[in-house]
Structure 1
Amino acid sequence: MSEKQASQEVLDKKAQALLEEKESDARMRTYKGPLNKLIVGLLCVWAAFQLYFTTLGAISAINLRAIHCIFLLVFTFLLFPTYKKEKRLRSLPPVWDMLLIAVGVGSFTYLILNFPRIAMTGGRIDDFEVVIAGAALLVVFEAARRASGNLAVLALLFLGYNWFGEYLPGYLGHNGFTLKRVLITQFWGTQGVLGTGIGVSATYIFLFVLFGAYLKYSGFSKFINDFSLTLVGQTPGGPAKVAVLASALMGMINGSAVANVATTGTITIPLMKQTGYKKEFAGAVEAVASTGGQFCPPIMGAVGFVMAEFLGISYTKVMLAAIVPALLYYVGLLMAVHFEAMRLGLSGLSKENIPNAMKVVKEQGHLVIPLVMLIGLMFAGYTPLYAAVFSIFGTIAASWLRKETRMTPQKILDATVEGAKGAVSVGVCCVIIGVIIGTVTLTSMGLNMGYLILYLVENNNIYLTGFLVMIMSTILGMGVPGVAAYVIVQAVAVPVLIDAGVLPLTSHLFCLIYACLSNITPPVAISAYVASGIAGSDQTKTGLWAMRLGIIGFIIPFFFLDNPVLLIGVDPDATMYATLWAVFTALLGTAGLVAGLEGWLIKRCNILERVILIALAPTLLYPGVLTDAIGIAVFAAVAGVQLVRKK
């Protein structure tokens, strides 16, 4: 074996190990015998509890969150191993995990029984209740270490800030807090582990993860893949375009870029490699397409519903505002795929490998009914939670319209178990996020960071403020699922932009996009690294390719910071004509930027044409009469020259 082959084999093993580390099912324990049946039964009980008490049942918010947390801790210590090399197949969990489950269940049960009394006394607790809070916090950190190591470390740093912050100078310092005060906030209050993060997990996240699992078992993902093939499969670079469309549609439903890469990527990445794309490029396309689904309407991976709750507005307004950024992101990615295919001289799939469009619609088209039902119910005024529950049952009903797609009782059970399991890792992330948010609230860290950034930025320069917030959002979102990343970022970064004069909805969208893009931002580009594991490619190169392909996502938020005409319905003074014109010129700007980066427009670009195309992109992306006129004229000139050269 040559040295090059040996190094590639080592790389493939590392990539596969990373894939297994990041894909939840591969990391989980499996049990044999009665315990396996017991766990399956408990997962179904949990799903039934969530479906009932988030819609018809009456329960206080704190009790719902505490019980949800109990389920999360039980399943984390049953399913997630203590260390990576631990034996996965077991008959019984280790003794220490049973002890951790006992401590976790006991602590939160004590909270449920005593919270009303403590709330009535204004948060007064005795020494025993301090111990209870401390034990619960230790158990939560151990659960987070297993489910998401990076986030547990970040939360530990934030928790330490409660004490060492008093030694920091300037805006980052505070007066310091006692252990008792910190534990009251983190466990006995509604700003810590039982705060916003777990509230999001106990409602939106669980239901939409479960909904995604039901769609998968109904055959919806196969329908999306087949339908995408009929649309773009025969065009140059068809498999890559299929990956973009399929991953966008699935990503906006399941809300997890990593999970989407690990599922759809196993189909699309090999197809792209067979077509002739480099393996780094193939992995990057899948990672970028899966990441964008988290801010792509109409579902936005459940993030949109959370944003609507934070802003106190209807979800429809959030969804409309996100349409144009998502459109530009995916148009830019499709153009990059197409130009790369033209540059490499790649063709699409042969006709015999493309399913018949009418046959696909006839045999599988009914599977889109639950998605239409979900959107229709929300527009009719139902809450997203009711819409999600009805759509889950609608998925079962729709699958029964044809024998080939019918969900049997076993499939329904498998979907329930997989959905509940999928909600565990994200849910634990949301619990530990409560520590971060509790620290931010107690220490006024978000406000202080805002003051610090505004102090560093002279004359309240909105773009420099945005740049610093972009860095903050990307760092805070690294290694964290989309919804969880947004919950962290909105607590710390959004107030900074609002203080600088940015509209609230614009601020939230700005931070959401960068929190999601942290999935493809080195050095912790998790989506790109998981995709490289499937592609067998170099992780660093795949991450850099992902940043290049998703470049429009990193740029476009700066163009709606102080001119939100690109966000439908946000600017009250913008007419529909002004918005449509801004979208048209932004699409031209996107085409120019991607063409310049890829070196292809109508034909291969020379160096001068590439520089000009990249330079004109900002003039078209920024809404303005003069900039639009300059950009359109230059773009037309470059296109005209290329047409003449082609003839």
Structure 2
Amino acid sequence: MESQNVNQDSLEKTWQSKILKYIGVISAVILSIFHLYTAYSGIFITAIVHYSIHLLLVAVIFLTITKPLSKVNKHLIWLDLLFLTLAAYSIGYVIFNYYEILSIMGPTTMSLEQKLSATVILLLVLYAAFRINKAFFILSILMLLYGLFGNNLGGPFQHAGMSIERLVYLISYTTDGVFGVALGISATYLFIFIFFGVVLEKTGTGDFILKASQALVGKYVGGSAKTSVIASAGMGSVVGSSVGNVVSTGSLTIPVMKKSGFRPHIAGAVESVASEGGQILPPILGAGAFIMATMTGIPYVDIVVAATIPALLYFISVLTVVDFESRKFNIKGLTKDRLPDFKKAFKEKGHLLISVGILVYLLLFDGMGIMKAGFFAIISLLLLAMLREETRLKFTDFIRILIDGAIGAIEIAIICATMGIITGVVVFSGIGARLSEIIIGLSGGDIFLTLIAAMVVSIILGMGLPTPVAYLMSALFVAPALVDIGVPVLAAHLFLFYFAVKSGTTPPIAIVAVVASNIAKANWFKTAIAASLFSLPSFVIAYAFVFQPALLFEGSWSNILLTFMTALIAVIGITGGIQGWWLRKSNWIERGGLIVFSICTIFPNTILTIIGVLGIIVITFYQYMGLKNTAFKGYENTI
């Protein structure tokens, strides 16, 4: 992931490089101010103008700060300036001539200037994608080729085909292309919550969450890893980036875990899984709930409520993984001298959490719009930071926040713009309407096989992408298939969101695990495999809430409670089987029994549930008897 700091020494100090740097910094400040203003006031003029301003400023920052060619070779600075001019012309044309563009009836009615602008926009987006994410760039090229030559294919993938002029027009000038849903999400609440994450970091809120977590759970068995889980959960729910969470939290927690006795790849895996989990944790879900509300039309509050039990089970499973891992290798809690003083930490920075409380109140109880609630959360956090000397910001800190907040959103904005190419071809070719039939046809209409197919596709689509974009692709292309076979809309989207999140630690790309392994100085593949194993209980959770609606708070309270308890037993049992530890080290028969009986427990069948619970009780009693009088020795300091 690109550094969010402006590298002032990366360019030769020529007058051209200075101009480039100043243009980038000024554009970053303008981009942040623009989004803060529109978060409060609403869409600027009209959607296409709002999105165009967003894309233009993103392109300028990308070409001057994030990925200028002059960083590779100082003599290529003239190409940077040329690209800047082209971006200003092509996207600027959309901003100042949006009425004319909206009135275009098709490529045959476009003027030469409009054709040139549309072509340049498409090429610039492709160039940016190539520099940011080559896999996504290749996918975009393949989709463009499909749009042009799909008429030569046979079977369900064949379409009528289209000319280059028509394809460029549809991609660059319609709301199903570059200026479509994905860029709209980036240009509205996604930017605001990325910015909010930067403000949390700069004001020291993240540092407080880490210290508070350490003070609360650090003394227990495996306390350094449990600290990582709690802190990453808190930060991840708001930050909205698994990678960003690993970088900000993991850079502090991973070295402590290693020093406590955790193997490097295990420390990286724990941080990866915990950071991913933050994005499924209410009330924010790392901005995922907002995208889900947009895609489904389901009220935000309903999504938050539905996600609560699965998120609770997820983090219980991760904490159980840590506990069992710690017991296997006799990893103690942190000593008292290494624990921060909770009261002191709270006195210095605890007041900053009020901003998160304000955000939650405005979203859940006041019913305020997402962007405006984000705006007030940011402003309240900045004001709260000024109340105490320990958190007070200088003028230069405010400028740095504006710059870093903008730079932090560049990669995801470019990917969202590129996604407009992919989704555009899917819509224009008509393949989108047939994807559901194709997926259901491959699975034979069986709900379980369709879920497996949807899981695989969702993970593949999400590899190497930020979670919001990964989920958005799954929601557009895969969710209709699940809904068509009878999966409720909310369950279908939460299912896909879970696996969009988990794509970050799934090989062969596993970008979240790669970042964590770099911090841990561990083998990335071992880190990714460990993270995938630790995630298996969460995979079961995702399937469980599709078949057990009570886990999404649907049904009577008694049924919800009973289903939650059986799911809790199942999650802990599966974790014990994977980790090879229950009351003591387990043999292969006990491990297999724990996994099988746990799956039976969560299965929506009363007889199987009873068999599963009884099986786990038998294994527990057997191990207890084997331990005799030392059965629970050392459990006095356990969470």
- State whether TM-score is above 0.5: yes
Distance 1:301 1:119 in 2: 34
* 3-state SS, counterpart of residue 390 of structure 2: helix
> Which amino acid letter does the alignment assign opposite residue 541 of structure 1?
K
Does the alignment pair 1:264 with 2:249? Answer: yes
Does the alignment pair 1:108 with 2:91? Answer: yes
Does the alignment pair 1:382 with 2:368? Answer: yes
> Which amino acid letter does the alignment assign opposite residue 631 of structure 1?
G
Corresponding position of 2:596? 615
Corresponding position of 1:18? none
477, 480, 502: which one aligns with 1:517: 502
Paired residues for 1:38-187 under 5 Å: 38-56=23-41, 58-81=44-67, 86=72, 94-123=77-106, 124-187=109-172
Cα deviation for residue 128 of structure 1 reads: 4.0
* 3-state SS, counterpart of residue 194 of structure 1: coil
Distance 2:23 2:175 in 1: 32
> Which amino acid letter does the alignment assign opposite residue 504 of structure 1?
V
| 8 Å Cα contact 1:283/1:532 also seen in 2 | yes
Does the alignment pair 1:318 with 2:271? Answer: no
Corresponding position of 2:623? 642
Which deviates the most, 101-110 or 517-526? 101-110
381, 388, 395: which one aligns with 1:409: 395
Which deviates the most, 322-331 or 580-589? 322-331
Distance 1:280 1:27 in 2: 31
> Which amino acid letter does the alignment assign opposite residue 397 of structure 1?
L
Cα deviation for residue 121 of structure 1 reads: 4.4
Distance 1:115 1:26 in 2: 34
| 8 Å Cα contact 1:486/1:515 also seen in 2 | yes
Which TM-score applies when normalising by structure 2?
0.93
| 8 Å Cα contact 2:2/2:66 also seen in 1 | no
> Which amino acid letter does the alignment assign opposite residue 449 of structure 1?
L
Corresponding position of 2:635? none
> Which amino acid letter does the alignment assign opposite residue 611 of structure 1?
G
Which deviates the most, 145-154 or 116-125? 116-125
Paired residues for 1:296-335 under 5 Å: 296-335=281-320
Does the alignment pair 1:482 with 2:467? Answer: yes
Cα deviation for residue 27 of structure 1 reads: 9.8
Cα deviation for residue 130 of structure 1 reads: 2.5
> In 2 relative to 1, CA 114–23 (structure 1 residues): closer, same or farther, beyond 3 Å?
closer
Cα deviation for residue 610 of structure 1 reads: 0.8
Cα deviation for residue 421 of structure 1 reads: 0.7
* 3-state SS, counterpart of residue 560 of structure 1: helix
Distance 1:615 1:323 in 2: 26
Q: Which has the higher contact order (CA 8 A, sep 6+)?
A: 1
Corresponding position of 1:394? 380
> Which amino acid letter does the alignment assign opposite residue 440 of structure 1?
V
> Which amino acid letter does the alignment assign opposite residue 115 of structure 1?
Y
> In 2 relative to 1, CA 590–142 (structure 1 residues): closer, same or farther, beyond 3 Å?
same
435, 448, 458: which one aligns with 1:463: 448
Does the alignment pair 1:342 with 2:366? Answer: no
Distance 1:28 1:145 in 2: 21
Paired residues for 1:182-197 under 5 Å: 182-197=167-182
Distance 1:584 1:434 in 2: 43
| 8 Å Cα contact 1:445/1:492 also seen in 2 | no
Cα shift readout 1:173-218 (whole Å, capped 9, x = no counterpart): 2121111221121011000000001100111111111111111111
Distance 2:142 2:3 in 1: 25
Cα deviation for residue 80 of structure 1 reads: 2.8
> In 2 relative to 1, CA 27–610 (structure 1 residues): closer, same or farther, beyond 3 Å?
farther
Cα shift readout 1:139-160 (whole Å, capped 9, x = no counterpart): 1111122222222222222222
Does the alignment pair 1:367 with 2:346? Answer: no
Corresponding position of 1:448? 434
Corresponding position of 2:636? none
| 8 Å Cα contact 1:336/1:549 also seen in 2 | yes
17, 21, 25: which one aligns with 2:4: 25
Paired residues for 1:579-590 under 5 Å: 579-590=560-571
512, 520, 525: which one aligns with 1:535: 520
Corresponding position of 2:533? 548
| 8 Å Cα contact 1:236/1:342 also seen in 2 | yes
Distance 2:592 2:538 in 1: 20
Distance 1:576 1:435 in 2: 46
| 8 Å Cα contact 1:23/1:259 also seen in 2 | no
Q: Which ranges of structure 1 fall in alignment gaps of 5 or more residues?
A: 1-21
Corresponding position of 1:633? 614
> In 2 relative to 1, CA 323–51 (structure 1 residues): closer, same or farther, beyond 3 Å?
same
Corresponding position of 2:410? 424
> Which amino acid letter does the alignment assign opposite residue 91 of structure 2?
F
| 8 Å Cα contact 1:243/1:289 also seen in 2 | yes
Does the alignment pair 1:603 with 2:584? Answer: yes
- Pairwise CA RMSD: 1.9
> Which amino acid letter does the alignment assign opposite residue 578 of structure 1?
N
> Which amino acid letter does the alignment assign opposite residue 114 of structure 1?
N
254, 276, 280: which one aligns with 2:261: 276
| 8 Å Cα contact 1:209/1:254 also seen in 2 | yes
Cα deviation for residue 391 of structure 1 reads: 0.7
| 8 Å Cα contact 1:198/1:427 also seen in 2 | yes
> Which amino acid letter does the alignment assign opposite residue 441 of structure 2?
Y
> In 2 relative to 1, CA 434–276 (structure 1 residues): closer, same or farther, beyond 3 Å?
same
| 8 Å Cα contact 1:565/1:623 also seen in 2 | no
Which deviates the most, 632-641 or 538-547? 632-641
Cα deviation for residue 563 of structure 1 reads: 3.2
> In 2 relative to 1, CA 35–230 (structure 1 residues): closer, same or farther, beyond 3 Å?
same
Distance 1:27 1:39 in 2: 9
Cα deviation for residue 483 of structure 1 reads: 0.9
Which deviates the most, 119-128 or 596-605? 119-128
Distance 1:618 1:545 in 2: 21
| 8 Å Cα contact 1:185/1:191 also seen in 2 | yes
Aligned sequence identity (%): 35
> In 2 relative to 1, CA 360–128 (structure 1 residues): closer, same or farther, beyond 3 Å?
closer
Which deviates the most, 126-135 or 100-109? 126-135
